[in-house]
Amino acid sequence: MTSALTIESLRKTFGSAPDIVHVLDNADLELSRGQSLALTGESGSGKSTLLHICAGLEPFDSGKVMLAGQDIAQADDSARAALRRTSVGLIFQQFNLVPSLNVAANLAFQARLAGRHDPGFVAELARRLGIAELMARYPEQLSGGQQQRVAIGRCLAARPRLVLADEPTGNLDEATGDAVLDLMLELAAQAGAALLLATHSTRLAARCNLRVHLRAGKLQVSA
């Protein structure tokens, strides 16, 4: 299987002695295209930090991170930006919708940047996410859960090879969250994309192909 993400001996610390925090300590991970992986760990264990590193948004101390076959430490700022634009989809806890654009334009935003905008696909995504009626609204006119679904739609519309999602259904009720995760898993599988999902929910984690737990800086495969 083709690797979507490879992490080798990754180390990341915050602060300096004597208050140094070892967030990642020789962490290893391999995620292939078409696989979904749930990342669990206590609050403050480093899940968001790991996702930010994988997205090329956060520097790390040592080790190797390969994204879509490219070593992100070797990539300059513009190469990292190009990777984020075309190969990686981010769904973060802050939804980062563009406030001056309506839902339709927000949904198309990432796909246009990636050169993969398909209005029919966006309409289908909006329907499946239950936001088709909201296309003319602006982000400030949406609830938290509606904003979250727009952020998910915006990411999936661009058909990235790797989706990095931080608690992507955290603002949704259980039934909506399950439906949205099913959609993410289905689309990722169809597109041969990989999905890395940080979550506190063992129920959501159980729906992924693989599970790893982050504890004391190490990634441990769990059942």
Residue ranges binding ligand ATP (CB under 6 A): 14-15, 21, 23, 41, 43-49
Residue 202: CB minimum distance to ligand ATP, A: 14
Q: Which is nearer to ligand ATP, 117 or 215 (CB)?
A: 215
Distance between CA atoms of 183 and 10, rounded to whole angstroms? Answer: 31
Distance from C-alpha of 90 to C-alpha of 160, rounded to nearest angstrom: 9
Nearer to ligand ATP, 49 or 87 (CB): 49
How near is the Cβ of 86 to ligand ATP at its closest, in Å?
Answer: 26
> C-beta of 21: minimal distance to ligand ATP in Å?
5
Q: Which is nearer to ligand ATP, 127 or 218 (CB)?
A: 218
Cβ-Cβ contacts under 8 Å for 61 (sequence gap 6 or more): 11, 12, 13
Residue 89 pairs in a beta bridge with 163
Q: Residue 48 or 209: which CB sits closer to ligand ATP?
A: 48
With CA atoms as reference, report the closest residue to 116 among 35, 34, 194, 191. 191
Smallest gap from Cβ 99 to ligand ATP, in A, equals: 24
Q: How far apart are CA 36 and CA 29, in angstroms?
A: 13
